[in-house]
Amino acid sequence: MAVLRHGRHVLASLVYSQTQLHAAFGGVVPEVASRDHLRKLPILAEQALHQANVRWPDIGVVAVTRGPGLAGPLLVGVSYAKGVAWTRQIPLVGVNHLEAHLFAHQLAHPDAPPPLLGLIVSGGHTSLVSVPTWGDYRMIGTTRDDAAGEALDKFGRLIGLGYPAGPEIDRLAADGDPSAIRFPRPMVESGLDMSFAGLKTSASYWLKEHPRPPLKDLCASYLEAVVDVLCEKALRAARRLEMTRIVVVGGVAANVRLRAVLSSRAEERGVEVCFPPPELCTDNAAMVAACGYDRFAERGERDTLRLRPDPSLSWDT
């Protein structure tokens, strides 16, 4: 839950993490997530208003994620936002979660507008998107199977880490040798699409032959394969599209190794890379508000109270 002024200045941004709840099940159980959101949303709203030092009548627009995502949690959010729009008689704007991730960049670097090449790397998505201007998105590459974050989370499960495993792999890898084990780089040689499922499979075979692996080297080597593929694809896309600015967003963009490797490889090629601060990379409501505000104020878009969540919302809707 976040409160922004003019869609650009974050007055409050609260993230209620369900990590502990999900850890008990080793992943997200939709029904459990939905019920917990329902319980927590009104409480967070009051806290956000308090922190922003504003009251309900000060709120001019309400933005909410309408998809893609899990149906239950989306329904809880959309229903709550409709309630706010109706009772306060203010405009409602539904946003695409992936577009919202891109707006983390606008919040962090308002002086670096499109045209840009977006690399969205999260637990559910891995996409390369050309953004000539805000509101115009062309998907030019995507994963054919697992998302980058999913590849990390599934690997974490194989080696007994908690869920989500990305942050812990990040920490363990910092003290490991990324060249200790040579994992494959699927589909790295050509094209802009990606594939990460084979990487996880090769790690599971490797683990069968090496039952007591050096954990830090293992994490560093696995992470290196993911990072290598992401860097190659992003830089190839930038070269093809003659783009000189790459923007990396989504939970995996918080990864220390990805930030370091992509920044240095891009610099060698004269390409600028922007990463929002880690707290804006992982899911947060500030990016949703920024995106909703842009749709409403810059593009004149808004939704009616008939707005429906769309779990498989794509870029062109």
For ligand KG4, the binding residues (CB under 6 A) are 122-124, 149, 152-153, 164-167, 170, 250-252, 254-255, 282-283
DSSP 112: S
Residue 284 C-beta: closest distance to Zn ion, Å: 9
Closest to Zn ion by CB, 164 vs 176, is 164
Asked if residue 126 binds Zn ion (CB under 5 A), the reply is: no
> What is the CB-side half-sphere exposure of residue 305 using CA atoms within 13 A?
10
Q: Which of 52, 13, 12 is nearest to 281 (CA)?
A: 13
Q: Which does 247 bind (CB under 5 to 8 A by kind): ligand KG4, Zn ion, none?
A: none
Place of tokens 């306060």: 88
d(CA 303, CA 292): 11
Stretch that binds Zn ion, among 23-31, 63-71, 120-128, 138-146 (CB under 5 A): 120-128
Closest to Zn ion by CB, 232 vs 283, is 283
Q: Which does 149 bind (CB under 5 to 8 A by kind): ligand KG4, Zn ion, none?
A: ligand KG4
Residue 267 C-beta: closest distance to Zn ion, Å: 27
Chain Cα centroid distance, residue 126:
9
For residue 126, list its beta bridge partners: 121
Q: Of these, 170, 283, 294, 303, which contacts Zn ion (CB under 5 A)?
A: 283
Do 223 and 257 contact (CB within 8 A), yes or no?
yes
Place of tokens 């919202």: 100
Q: Which does 255 bind (CB under 5 to 8 A by kind): ligand KG4, Zn ion, none?
A: ligand KG4
Residue 148 C-beta: closest distance to ligand KG4, Å: 8
82, 86, 89, 95 alpha-carbon torsion, rounded to 10° = 10
d(CA 39, CA 14): 15
SS3 per-residue string spanning 281-302: HCCCHHHHHHHHHHHHHHCCCC
Q: How many residues bind Zn ion (CB under 5 A)?
A: 2
Report residue 84 as tokens. 């706010």
Q: Which of residues 28-87 bind Zn ion (CB under 5 A)?
A: none
Report residue 251 as tokens. 């939970």
Closest to ligand KG4 by CB, 124 vs 213, is 124
Residue 287 C-beta: closest distance to Zn ion, Å: 9
- In degrees and rounded to multiples of 5, residue 71 shows phi and psi of -55, -50
d(CA 135, CA 113): 12
Residue 275 C-beta: closest distance to Zn ion, Å: 15
Q: Which does 252 bind (CB under 5 to 8 A by kind): ligand KG4, Zn ion, none?
A: ligand KG4
Q: Of these, 96, 106, 122, 255, which contacts Zn ion (CB under 5 A)?
A: 122
Grouping H, G, I as helix, E, B as strand and the rest as coil, residue 120 is strand
Stretch that binds Zn ion, among 15-23, 122-130, 267-275, 308-316 (CB under 5 A): 122-130
Q: Which residues bind to Zn ion, rule: CB under 5 A?
A: 122, 283
